[in-house]
Amino acid sequence: MFPILGLYEVAIRVKDLSRSEPFYRDTLGLEVGLRDEQRKLLFLRAGGPAGMVVLQEDNSDWPTQHFAFTVDEVDIEAAVTALLERGVQIEGPVYHKWMPAKSVYFSDPDGHDLELCAPVHRAWRVQIRSIRNFLRTYL
């Protein structure tokens, strides 16, 4: 068997790219990587080169999904404030003892259940700091 290191890309169906893009770009701070007008796709960087979210315009019927974004524990309260200032209704922070992590829940314009998850285990903090240091060094 081979080790999976993480999740690099996830596609999220949206009804209207022009409505969803500002939410993911301006409210969540994801960076535009590539826009494909022909296929109605928008690739957004989540955490620099750590991964991508692809918004895929699709007007058919589909179920809403749940997606969680990792944030640093020290940033979770600032994230709550920023979301509230942008008019996003949130639930939390909620502490998950079994993970352990603090999470904040909210919805995107299409009703997908989104989460900001802040692992509080030391090993996760070390890994997140390593990623940040890598990004600062090489970008």
The CATH-assigned architecture of domain 9-138 is: Roll (3.10)
> What digits encode the pLDDT tens for the residues 57-108?
999 999 999 999 999 988 999 999 999 999 999 999 999 988 899 999 999 9
Please state whether beta strands 91-96 and 101-107 pair in parallel, antiparallel, or not at all (unpaired).
Answer: antiparallel
CA distance 133 to 45: 17
Give the pLDDT score at 50.
Answer: 81
pLDDT band at 56 (very low <50, low <70, confident <90, very high): very high
pLDDT value at residue 32: 96
How confident is the model over 5-50, as pLDDT tens digits?
788 999 999 999 999 999 999 999 999 999 999 999 999 999 888 8
- Judge if the upstream peptide bond of residue 93 is cis by omega within 30 degrees of 0: yes
Structural domain boundaries of the chain? 9-138
Can you list the alpha helix ranges (DSSP code H) found in 15-121?
17-22, 76-85
